[in-house]
Structure 1
Amino acid sequence: MSTKKTLPVSGMSCAACAVNVEKALKGTKGVVDASVNFANHTAYVNFDESTKLEALQKSVQDVGYDLVIPDANAEGESDVYEKVREMQEDHYRDLKKKSIGAILLTIPVVLLSMVIPTQSWTNYAEFALTSIVVLWFGRTFFIHAARQARRLYSNMDTLVAVSTGIAYLFSVVNTFFPEWMTGSGLEPHVYYEAAAVIISFILLGKLLEARATSKTSDAIKGLMNLQPDEVVLVDGESETIIAVEDVMAGDLLRVKPGGRIAVDGFVEDGESYIDESMLTGEPVPAPKIKGDRVVAGTINQKGTLTYRASEVGSETVLSRIVQRVREAQGSKAPVQRLVDRIAGIFVPIVLVLAIITFFVWYFSGIDQAFTYALLSAITVLVIACPCALGLATPTAIMAGVGAGARHGILIRDADSLERGHRITDVVLDKTGTVTRGKPEVQEVLVIEETMEWSTLEAMESLSEHPLADAIVTHIRNERVPESAKPVVQAFESVTGHGAKATVEGQDYKIGKPSWIIDEGVTWTDEAEAWTVVQGEHGKSVVAFAKGTDLMALISIVDPVKPEAFEAVARLIRKGITVHMLTGDHISTASAVAREVGIDHVKAEVLPDDKYDYVEALQQAGKHVAMVGDGINDAQALALADVSIAMGSGTDIAMDTARITLMRDDLNGVPDAIRLSRHTVNTIRQNLFWAFIYNLIGIPIAAGVLYPSYGFLLSPMIASMAMGLSSVSVVTNSLRLRTVFHSRTQDR
């Protein structure tokens, strides 16, 4: 058995850091797999149960970082994330102090070097101010770089430490020992302002990056804030306010108008309307009476409700949503694996390029060749930062998953979000997906005058099929059984066909007409004609037989969802082929398909047939999304490239699917595909600009424009460009939060 955990990582400064941590975790004994997300500083680890968290933490610490694990008093994973949130806030405050301090001291350094004429004392003043900036405010760059160097690793801190360290030490030597340079006929220049400005700009860039990146997790923060901290516990006539963490299943709770439901449960007393928009996306409040289910985080609108807790803590729907969103935001898209490999070798390559740049300039034969060589090498080190590259994919994934969560589209992993843009075919289950999934009996054709309604009711009461519920409801509301309900023996549900049972020694069957016929029941022309007419009007027919005698035919209709036609039309406009599968008769399926505009229909299919249908499409080179809501859809959902479950469906369907539509609205399918396309486009934009930035920036920093145009990039400008590149990538990803604001444009 293996354990899967998502744990926060501290101390990472760039994508190369994430690669180092991932290597360390994968190299730990007992670890099956590990994935590290630089954007939200988490590690997803799948490890053997015999492996202790302390062993994982030590592996990460050995490469210069730290893994945050729950302490002995932690009650759950939420405690760990609360702790890491505090760490991130402390880190942001620390960055803010360092940035402000560094900038305040850098300004006079720049003024001294560029405005005030060189005096005997100016170099010493610059030395004093720059020493504080580099050795105090920028000390973490050198500390982290040293830790990495001891293990033959490198990251962004390596580039910053080497570049500013060289500029600072070179300037110190020329300040206190100028004769070393003048003795060689060279001018003892100092570059304190370069070192100070680089440190200041990089600190400022990291501050802006931390602030922007934190916004990509707003979805989780918003969801967690939906649950109240306290709740009213009812004990007889008394009421006590307790912490929501102390609520136990079975407790009786009370919520007043305007209050939020604290945990999942069922109404015991009172009537009200509940705003469930956080769960379903529907703005219209849902009425609640005794026996109705209420969900944590929803808002009570009108009356006071008393409800009994059924799921608490991590078992509530809200907690599961938060966990799924967190896992999805921390998961790694396939394209990110390529980016990680590039980031892992990026820093060593840049170090080599900087050395080459230095020697090319040094042996160029121009005046002040050493000075140009030093400045160009420093500029290459400063401008080449893997941060933008590392942030390109995860920030877009986090923003996309968050945007989906706020609109009732729960995406389980980055892989599904990335695959969605390639979908060519969408396969829809009919019942509960295209239709409401709440069938109603429309008409009954009694074949035998001795129709046994009580026996039929008794049999269907044992069935879990939605059509059985419709028949039982009809009998209880419209028919008066002629005798007490008989005892049903040997009840057997035949998946995809119907059910059979023995009652008082007689064999009974109920199910599809085709199956009833195969079981040897006598089928008349009247029954066939009636079945055909019902099917032409989109109604399902269920046959009830005693032995080989047909007793009655029951016509059942499952109303089409009002938004189904619009959702199908949106998919078709996107160039997607829509299919519908159902276990119903072909005439019923065709009628429903015509009503919603679907051309590709296959009826009378079993769960295995749905699986085979999806497999056949994939073998034909199609990228398939399967949408379903029942146990019979689970196989096809597991096989599909992208699996989507309706939120009103079974737990098995939602556990199998990678995307769950919390709204019972088929428009969520084109919405999810639209979100995927926007997310992938954002990833491509981010990666394009991250690569272009380095492809253009590094040669310019090395001085390729100098021979033709006399242009040489300043290290100070390079540091500013490096910081802005990361901020621009994160800002571009944040635009995904508005992806649904113009949804009507694709309708």
Structure 2
Amino acid sequence: MTTINSKNKEITLDIQGMTCAACSARIERGLNKLEGVEQATINLALETGHISFDSAELNEDALIAKIQKLGYDAVVHQENNEKDHREVEIERKTRVFIISAIFSLPLLWTMFAHFSFTKGVYVPEFLMNPYVQWALATIVQFGIGWQFYKGAYYALRNKSANMDVLVALGTSAAYFYSVYIVLKNREHIGMFHLDLYFETSAILITLILLGKLFEARAKGHSSDAIKKLIKIQPKTAFVERNGTPLEVPIREVQLEDILIIKPGASIPVDAVVISGNSAVNESMLTGESLPVDKSTGDTIYAATLNENGTLRVQAKKVGKDTVLSNIIRVVEEAQASKAPIQRLADQISAIFVPIVVTLAVITFIVSYFFFTDGNFTHSLERMIAVLVIACPCALGLATPTSIMAGSGRAAENGVLFKTAEALEHTNTIDTIVFDKTGTITKGAPVVTNFLVLNKYEKKDIIPLIAAAERNSEHPVATAITNYGKDYGVLPAVQTFKAIPGKGIEATVENKQIIIGTRKLFTNHDITINCDSNFEDEGKTVMYAAIDHQHVATIAVADEVKETSKDAIHKLQKMGIETIMLTGDQVKTAASIAKQVGISNVIAGVLPTEKAAEVEKLQKENRHVAMVGDGLNDAPALAKAEIGIAMGTGTDVAIEAADITVMKGDLLKVVDAVKMSRLTVRNIKQNLFWALAYNSIGIPIAASGLLAPWLAGAAMAFSSVSVVLNALRLQRVRL
């Protein structure tokens, strides 16, 4: 996946061979040192690298060569592969584990002969032959386990250390000590059983491979959200060619093509309905379970499901430009980015392995001279246990797996975090500033009151007034016209004149119609016979006259969205202060704020001043998020610590924001805050248990209370437990 902008280029690579946080940190450091690399971010959980670089100085091959020099392998990430690289890697790890288990199980069987309480278990005599054990262990140690030696070699060559170093040291100590015992007693073989540790090295390697296999499978589930989104994209579409629907591959659909969408079919592109009516299930994009009615002029989106009617549509966005493709891109970039909290884990991992090796050596020396009375075997066992149990795998997976699971679950419910940083920082927000129009309200004015004077009939008056407003482009006029359509077919307009800022004059059915402000009526010497308190409610009031007689008073307002009040109440219960920031007049803003339960209102603010108002709040040591949808909100969205854009808003607002909520539903803002808090809590749990595991495990291993193979099992399953904890985020109900 590459994008080019002048000389700046971005590339995503699939990286193979990483085993712990030290691996990803080493690749990241190595790439960032290359001349021409602007930024390289390596994600251990996704096993990918995202690199921005100057194409005039570097190319893809040079980046891959650098990764290979560091001891790993890389290929350019291919989108929409039938089988992604992680699935291929899981299959490979499964094969390797099975082979390792086949050669290790006989050695495991021999362990029954070592303990008095298992003496009754039958062990074939040929398995107790040191040369048979040596042969089996050698296959595992240098055939299956060669990957650990290779990783350790490259790590040490690049002046760093990783999990491979610990595994190679620990298993080699057990293996070569056993070889030494065999050679030392070669003349006495067959006379008595030797205390060998071939099974320790082989079983350690097998258990570590099993742990890595479980870990890979669990990590695969953490990106299930992306897989689901990719899988729901249809592979073909029915396109009209010479008036006949023809099934073609989705990649051949062009802009402005006419498509036929049959009932039950998945919609292949973003399009506008030309003809037909149907209900469309958009839950895969918005998380809303109820289908949405679609008819001529409505927009439909790729991968949504056409439920019951045939639609004839025109393609408006295809391929990578569809809403679905953009969602997939945003979620992938968020999962590939690095949260600030991960820096702690990276810093610890960078020094962890050298510290562990030092502790292991100290353990051996102290044990040999002070606790085991010079017993080399027991001291060696303790050293191996320390080396193995201290692998920092869980620490490296603590953050990225939570980020993947949390951002994926949010995307499934219509909340798109652009970066891991946005996902983490939303947790700190204590103040949310809302734009009014299009954010709290629907953004389109509607008639809320149509007061007709007593001596007139609504059915006679309303069609005339609605018809008169039909030729005006003003939003208030549109609202009045739409209201009048419920009263039948509107009559023809004979003359029309717009009076800017005041209203309109028209002739309908030979009657003179005047609709406008109080000032317009004053200019025409028309008496307002019935006053109202609509203006006190923050509504726009228009007066209508027919043949110079006041006949109706009309109140128009931008209606509050159905979920706005509930969303704001929930945010306040979460301890977040809510503020309305709008350019509208104070009276209107206060009325809307009262309806939704906001007490702090900043009204009459020019678009250029919105960012300054956000900055004022930040100077009061508040952590501010801004929610908006319009072009005029973009500076404030960018200025706030977290910008949240309505998915129904302008492209500029969405681009300036850190989070996009689909369908413009404010309850999705609640979901965003909730998901951030749960994800950060999950990360902290993972980091705590990863560090606690090592802090507790190392002293136990050093004291001799943990056999090396048990240490290997504990190390392997510690990583799995961290990943499984992260996967709990995928079950969060939003």
- Superposition TM-score tier, normalisation by shorter sequence: 0.7 to 0.9
Match of 1:111 among 100, 109, 112: 109
Q: Deviations over 1:475-524 (max 9, x none)?
A: 999897663678x9xx9xxxxxx999xxxxxxxxxxx99xx99xxx99x9
Matching of residue 483 in structure 1 with residue 483 in structure 2? no
2:650 matched to 1:650?
yes
Are the counterparts in 1 of residues 110 and 127 from structure 2 also a CA contact under 8 Å? no
SS in 2 for 1:18: helix
Residue 124 to residue 238, structure 1, CA distance change in 2 (3 Å): same
One-letter amino acid of the counterpart of residue 590, structure 2? S
Where do residues 515-526 of structure 1 align in structure 2 (5 Å cutoff)? Answer: none
Describe the superposition over 1:215-238 as per-residue Cα deviations: whole angstroms up to 9, x where unpaired.
Answer: 000000000111111111221342
**1:101 alignment partner, one of 99, 102, 111:** 99
- Cα pair 2:440 2:666 within 8 Å, conserved: yes
* Distance in 2, Cα, partners of 1:673 & 1:152: 42
1:91 and 2:96 correspond: no
Q: Among 366, 373, 390, which residue is 2:396 paired with?
A: 390
5 Å matches for 1:679-698? 679-698=679-698
User: Closer, same or farther in 2 for the Cα pair 1:26/1:388, shift >3 Å?
Assistant: same
Structure 2 partner of 1:59: 66
2:641 equivalent in structure 1: 641
Q: Which amino acid aligns with 2:104?
A: T
SS of residue matched to 2:559:
coil
Query: Residues 739 and 416 from structure 1, CA distance in 2 versus in 1: closer, same or farther, beyond 3 angstroms?
Result: same
Corresponding residue SS for 1:39: coil
Equivalent pair of 1:454/1:485 in contact (CA under 8 Å):
no
Please name the residue that 2:445 is paired with. Answer: 439
Separation in 2, partners of 1:610, 1:181: 89
Counterpart amino acid of 2:729? Answer: L
Q: Within the alignment, does 1:231 sit opposite 2:237 as a pair?
A: yes
Partner of 2:707: 714
Q: Assess if the C-alpha contact under 8 Å between 1:435 and 1:559 holds in 2.
A: yes
Partner of 1:332: 338
Whichever residue aligns with residue 628 of structure 1, its letter is G
Per-residue Cα deviation, 1:398-442 (whole angstroms, up to 9, x for no partner): 000011011111111111111112111111111111111121245
Aligned equivalents of 1:129 and 1:671: distance in 2? 55
Q: Which residue of 2 aligns with 1:133?
A: 140
What code does the residue aligned with 1:721 have? A
Matched residue type, 1:175: V
Paired residues of 2:466 and 2:481 also in contact (CA < 8 A): no
Aligned to 1:556: 556
Q: What secondary structure is seen at the aligned counterpart in 1 of 2:443? A: coil
The answer to whether 1:371 aligns with 2:413 is: no
Q: Residue 89 of structure 1 aligns to which amino acid in structure 2?
A: E
Q: Which amino acid aligns with 1:160?
A: V
Q: How far apart are 1:597 and its partner, in Å?
A: 1.0
Closer, same or farther: CA 499–298 of 1 in aligned 2, 3 Å: farther
Q: 1:555 to 1:354 in 2, by over 3 A?
A: same
The answer for the alignment partner of 1:734 in structure 2 is 727
- 2:332 is paired with a residue whose SS is helix
Residues 461-472 of structure 1 mapped to structure 2, 5 A cutoff: 461=473, 470=479
- Percent of aligned pairs with the same amino acid: 43
Q: CA deviation at 1:453?
A: 12
1:93–1:666 distance in 2 versus 1, CA, 3 Å: same
The residue number in structure 2 matching 1:725 is 718
- TM (norm. structure 1) is 0.84
- More off after superposition, 95-104 vs 224-233: 95-104
Contact persistence 1:454–1:484 (CA under 8 A): no
Q: Deviations over 1:296-332 (max 9, x none)?
A: 0010111111212111110111100111111111111
Is 1:145 matched up with 2:152? yes
Distance 1:439 1:453 in 2: 15
Distance between the aligned counterparts of 2:491 and 2:449, measured in 1? 12
Q: Deviations over 1:633-666 (max 9, x none)?
A: 1111111111111111111111111111113321
Is 1:585 aligned to residue 597 of structure 2? no
Match of 1:78 in 2: 79
* CA distance in 1 between partners of 2:575 and 2:188 (Å): 70
Specify every segment of 5 or more residues in structure 2 that has no aligned partner in the other structure, as ranges.
Answer: 1-5, 114-122, 452-464, 504-515, 545-551
Alignment of 1:289-688 (within 5 A): 289-364=295-370, 366-441=372-447, 461=473, 470=479, 483=495, 533-540=533-540, 555-688=555-688
User: Which amino acid is 1:55 matched to?
Assistant: A
Q: 2:28, 2:288 → 1: CA distance?
A: 41
- CA shift, 1:49, in A, is 3.7
Partners of 1:602 and 1:590 in 2: CA distance:
9
CA contact (8 A) 1:453 1:482 kept: no
Q: Structure 2: how far apart are the matches of 1:203 and 1:232?
A: 48
Give TM-score, length-normalised by structure 2.
0.85
Shift of 1:33: 1.5
SS in 2 for 1:265: strand
Q: Given the superposition, is the C-alpha separation of residues 180 and 733 from structure 1 closer, same or farther in structure 2, using an over 3 Å criterion?
A: farther
What letter corresponds to residue 239 of structure 1 in structure 2? P
Shift of 1:470: 4.2
- What is the CA-CA distance between 1:554 and the residue it aligns to? 7.8
SS at match of 2:534: helix
Cα 1:310–1:103 shift into 2, 3 Å = same
> Residue 210 of structure 1 is aligned with which of 216, 220, 224?
216
Unmatched segments (≥5 aa) in structure 1? 71-76, 446-451, 492-497, 501-511, 545-551, 704-710
Cα RMSD of the aligned pairs, angstroms, is: 3.6
What is the alpha-carbon distance in structure 1 between the residues aligned to residue 34 and residue 186 of structure 2?
53
Pick closer, same or farther for the CA change 1:555–1:97 going to 2, 3 Å.
same
State the shift of 1:681 in Å. 0.7
In 1: Cα distance, 2:681 partner to 2:280 partner? 37
- Structure 2 CA distance for aligned equivalents of residues 479 and 67 of structure 1: 70
Paired residues of 2:14 and 2:47 also in contact (CA < 8 A): yes
| Deviation at residue 247 of structure 1 after TM alignment | 1.2
CA contact 1:280–1:664 (8 Å) conserved in 2: no
Provide the secondary structure at the position in 2 that maps to 1:68.
strand
1:509-566 deviation per Cα after TM superposition (whole angstroms, max 9, x unaligned): xxx99xx99xxx99x9x99x97x9434223146999xxxxxxx998530111121111
Alignment partner of 1:164 is 2:171: yes
SS at match of 1:249: coil
Alpha-carbon displacement from aligned partner over 1:352-408 (angstroms, at most 9, x marks no partner): 222222222233274343222221111111001111001001000100001101111
Check conservation: 2:466, 2:483, Cα contact below 8 A. Answer: no
Kept in 1: contact 2:590–2:601 (CA 8 A):
yes
Are 1:249 and 1:310, in contact at CA under 8 Å, matched by a contact in 2? yes
**Residue 27 (structure 1) aligned with residue 33 (structure 2):** yes
Paired residue for 1:449? Answer: none
Contact 1:454/1:482 (8 A) holds in 2: no
Change (3 A) 1:365 1:233: closer
Aligned residue for 2:196? 190
Q: CA deviation at 1:78?
A: 1.5
Call closer, same or farther: CA 1:631–1:541 in 2, change over 3 Å. Answer: farther
Letter in 1 for 2:573: R
